[in-house]
Amino acid sequence: MHSMLKASIAALATTAVLAGGAPAEGHGEKLSGDLKIFLDTSNPAPRATMEDMIARFSEMHPDLTIETTVIDREAYKTQIRNFLTANSPDVATWYAANRMTPYVSAGLFEDVSDLWMEEDIATNLASTKGAMTIDGKQWGVPYTYYQWGIYYREDIFNELGLEEPTTWEQEKANCQVILDSGRKCYTIGSKFLWTAGGWFDYLNMRTNGFDFHMELARGEVPWTDDRVRATFANWRELIDMGAFIDNHQSYSWQEALPFMVRGEATAYLMGNFSVAQFREAGLTDDQLDFYQFPAITEGLELAENAPTDTFHIPANATNKDNARAFLRFVVSADNQTLINNGENLGQLPVNASSSVDDDEFLNQGFEMLSSNSPGGVAQFFDRDFPAEMAAEAMQGLQEFMVFPDNLDDILNRLESVRQRVY
């Protein structure tokens, strides 16, 4: 996966340069019959984007009867288990990597490796192929992804004379200056746990590298390993400095935003979806900027989190040919350019021939993922680790952030969970 990703990112970089006139998808044949689509894009903007995309597909195939059902994003996570087994749609949204595993191993997702053999997809979607692969087969196609990194208050950095750090030493030195100015370095809301998972992802990938992180995710390394402890030791440096806002265990990630908007904290390790919230809260692009999580262990290849949202064909679907045509349409360069632009999802297109919308943060994210993430691209803590391990571990991570002295106890507990889960 490692070398494949490198190659694919190189390919992505070159094709992005040539992306001027990507050939439109050749949908010569008109489809007929039915197509039943289940979506979890229940938030207003993604919902409108998806509905518009389906309408365009429907225009291309006037004889096709498309039935779309949008299910609340959270409810979808439990309902998918029901509708995949009985009364399947033809297309359903989900997430990449380990989140697919339960459905792949239960035989509920259709193997779509044939799509991935097609020239268009094979060359243009190579960067996400690893995330869609289980047991050497591909089980769906991605439709969008987004970068993670440190979003910070540019104006406060300027005021304090700070620069974007690239090493751990600089990061800590910056943080000390920020603390001395009476602010906190990082805001975080860990009530729903996953935000702490993001910190662990980055600290572990920077301390021990992408490959080690994935070994840990696959359960091949004990949690009590010294390398894991090294990651926590780095984390503890920040905690002991008082770098994180107080009482973060009581806030959701949205409730932690005001600390940064009010300038009480200067940075937030988050996904790109936070940009919309920052802008809505009144921060301008002059006040807000982005940098890649700095290197910790020297010489280690940088790796990034880029969670990918996906489309799948349930194994029990009735109109699989129509579904395949729809998947081809979703990942086509033009459609990818359109649905990921700033007016729609505001994220990164998965097709290397698509163009990225001209947005400060999308450009930086695209740049970072295509040229400065040689180590690999991870999905996210709760998508790379099996669900049960992730649930226990994220609780432990939150506990560590509040009571760092409990580390031994936490690691022993996680180790016993690891031995049961894998």
Partner 1 sequence: MTVATVPDMNPPRRKSFYKRNEIALTPWLFLAPGILFFAVYVIIPIFQSFNLSLYAWDGLGEARYIGLANYQELMTDRAFEVSLWNNVKWLAFYLLAIPAGLFIALFLNQTVVGIRLYKSLFFFPFVISQVVVGLVFAWFYNPSFGLLNTALGWVGLGPINVLGDPTMVTYGIIAAGLWPQTAYCMILYLTGLNAVDPEQIEAGRLDGAKGFRMLWHIILPQLKPATFICFVVTIIGALRSFDLISIMTNGGPFGSSRVLSFYMFEKALSEYGFRMGYGAAIAVVLFLIMLIFIAYFLWSMFREERGH
**Residue 74 in contact with partner 1, rule: CB under 8 A:** yes
Q: Contact at 8 Å (CB) between 369 and 348?
A: yes
How many residues make up the chain in this entry?
422
Query: How many angstroms separate the Cα of 238 from the Cα of each of 178, 232, 242?
Result: 12, 10, 6
Minimal distance, residue 110 CB to partner 1, in Å: 16
Helix (H) or strand (E) holding 128: helix 126-132
> What is the layout of strands, in order, in the sheet containing 308-312?
64-70, 33-39, 91-95, 308-312, 141-145
**Residue 81 in contact with partner 1, rule: CB under 8 A:** yes
Q: Which of 31, 322, 396, 411 binds partner 1 (CB under 8 A)?
A: 396
Minimal distance, residue 390 CB to partner 1, in Å: 6
Nearest to 112 by CA among 391, 323, 398: 323
Residue with tokens 């200056």: 177
CB atoms within 10 A of CB 406: 13
Query: How many angstroms separate the Cα of 144 from the Cα of each of 125, 290, 346?
Result: 11, 20, 9
Q: Which of 6, 27, 191, 218 binds partner 1 (CB under 8 A)?
A: 191
Interface with partner 1: number of residues (CB under 8 A): 28
Q: Which of 42, 58, 79, 85 binds partner 1 (CB under 8 A)?
A: 85
**Residue 413 in contact with partner 1, rule: CB under 8 A:** yes
Q: Which stretch binds partner 1 (CB under 8 A): 78-86, 109-117, 167-175, 305-313?
A: 78-86
Q: What is the x/- site pattern for partner 1, positions 144-183, by CB under 8 A?
A: ----------------------------------------
Q: Which stretch binds partner 1 (CB under 8 A): 104-112, 215-223, 274-282, 339-347?
A: 104-112
Establish how many alpha carbons lie within 13 A of residue 307's alpha carbon, considering only the half-sphere containing its beta carbon.
21
**Residue 236 in contact with partner 1, rule: CB under 8 A:** no
| Signed CA dihedral, 258, 193, 368, 19: sign only | negative
Q: Which of residues 351-390 bind partner 1 (CB under 8 A)?
A: 382, 387-388, 390
**Residue 395 in contact with partner 1, rule: CB under 8 A:** yes
Tell me the C-alpha distance between 325 and 57, whole Å: 10
Minimal distance, residue 248 CB to partner 1, in Å: 8
Residues forming a β-bridge with 150: 269, 291
Minimal distance, residue 268 CB to partner 1, in Å: 16
**Residue 229 in contact with partner 1, rule: CB under 8 A:** no
**Residue 391 in contact with partner 1, rule: CB under 8 A:** yes
List residues near partner 1 by CB under 8 A.
74, 77-78, 81, 85, 102-103, 105-106, 108, 191-193, 246-247, 249-250, 382, 387-388, 390-391, 395-396, 398-399, 402, 413
